[in-house]
Amino acid sequence: MMGMEARLQATFDQAQHIVFLTGAGVSTPSGIPDYRSKNGLYTGHRNAEYYLSHSCLVQEPEVFYDYVKQNLYYPDAKPNVIHEKQAALTRQNRATVITQNIDNLYNVADTQHLVEFHGNLYNVYCQICGAKADWHDYLKSPYHDADGGWLRPDVVLYDEGLNTTNVQRAVAAMSQADLVVIVGTSMRVYPFAGLLDYRNQQAQVVVVNQEKLNLGFTYDMVQADATEFFDALRV
Ligand SMILES: [Zn+2]
C-alpha cells in the first residue's frame, strides 16, 4: 500500500466511537496461526471444531487438554502494530475492540475498551470449585491441586453459550459506533458476525482485508495487508 489515503485517515480522525471487529488475521502477524486452518495433527474426521467443543471437554478431557495445549497457547507472542494502533485509539476513549481472539494480545497491548467475545485462554479455572488457576500451572497439569478437578480455560467452546455481559457490551458499542472497522476476519462465524445487525445505521463500515466480504450492505473496502494499513494510520 502506498501510504494512507487522506480520505481514510480523515474518516478515522473524525470518528468519535470506533468499533473494531477483529479475528484471527490480527494475530497471525504475531506468529499465532489460525487454528481453523491448522490440520494434520490428528487424523480422521475430527476437526478443530470438535476439539474445541464442550462435548470433547466432557467426554475426552485428555484429548481436549492435549489439543488446546499444543495448538492454542503462544505465551511468547507479542502484539503487533494492528493491536497497538487500535489499543492507542481505545486509550483516547475513541474506540472499542470486540475480538474473537482468545490469545490475550490486546491486553498485553494495554487495550482499554475491550470485549473478548470468545473469552481468554490465559484465564483458567477449576470446573469443580470454580477457583481461578494460573495458566502456567494449567500447561503443566490439567488438574487442580486442591481438589483434583479438571481445569479449563475461560473460553467459549463450540457448543457453549456466550457470556451475556460480553454480548451486552458488544451490542451497546455497536449501537453507539459512528465507524465500524472489520479487520482480520471474514465475518462468517456466528453469532459474532451477527453483531453487524446491531450497528448504528449511521455508522460507516470499513473492511481491511485481503479479500472482499459478503456483508449484504455497502462498505468501504481496503484491500490491503492489515499490518501495512495500521502502520500507515496516524492515531
Ligand atoms: Zn478446584
As a whole number, mean pLDDT of residues 106-113 equals 98
Given this model, what pLDDT does residue 43 score? 46
pLDDT in tens, 136-184: 999 999 999 999 999 999 999 999 999 999 999 999 999 999 999 999 9
Among all residues, which ones are annotated catalytic? 118
Average pLDDT rounded to a whole number, residues 200-228: 95
Q: Is 80 exceeded by the pLDDT of residue 222?
A: yes
Position 39 scores a pLDDT of 47
DSSP per position, 57-75:
HHH-HHHHHHHHHHHT--T
CA 178 to ligand 1 centroid distance, Å: 44
Read off the pLDDT band of 4 (50, 70, 90).
confident
**Percent of the chain residues topping a pLDDT of 90:** 89
Q: Predicted confidence band at 225 (pLDDT cuts at 50, 70, 90)? A: very high
As a whole number, mean pLDDT of residues 58-85 equals: 96
Domain positions in the chain: 1-32+78-118+160-235
Q: Could you read off the pLDDT of 28-53 as tens digits, one per residue?
A: 999 998 876 654 444 455 788 899 99
* 152 C-alpha to ligand 1 centroid (Å): 11
If you average pLDDT over every residue of the chain, what do you get?
Answer: 93
The mean pLDDT of 60-73, rounded to a whole number, is: 95
Please tell me the distance from the alpha carbon of residue 99 to that of residue 7, in angstroms, as a whole number.
26
Is residue 2 over pLDDT 60?
no
Distance of CA 189 from the midpoint of ligand 1 (Å)? 33
* Cα gap 155→123, rounded to integer Å: 8
Task: Provide the pLDDT for residue 5.
Answer: 86
Q: Looking up cell 454480548, which residue turns up? A: 167
Options 3.30.413.10, 3.40.50.620, 3.40.50.1220, 3.40.50.170; which CATH number does 1-32+78-118+160-235 get? 3.40.50.1220
Percent of the chain with pLDDT over 70: 94
For residue 203 the three cell numbers come to 455508522
Residue 198 sits at φ, ψ, to 5 deg, of -95, 5
- Per-residue pLDDT band for 3 (boundaries 50, 70, 90) equals low
Q: What separation in Å is there between the alpha carbon of 133 and the centre of ligand 1?
A: 9
Per-residue b or e along 63-91, where b marks 16 or more CB atoms closer than 10 Å to that residue's CB: ebbebbeeebbbeebebbbbbbbbbbbbe
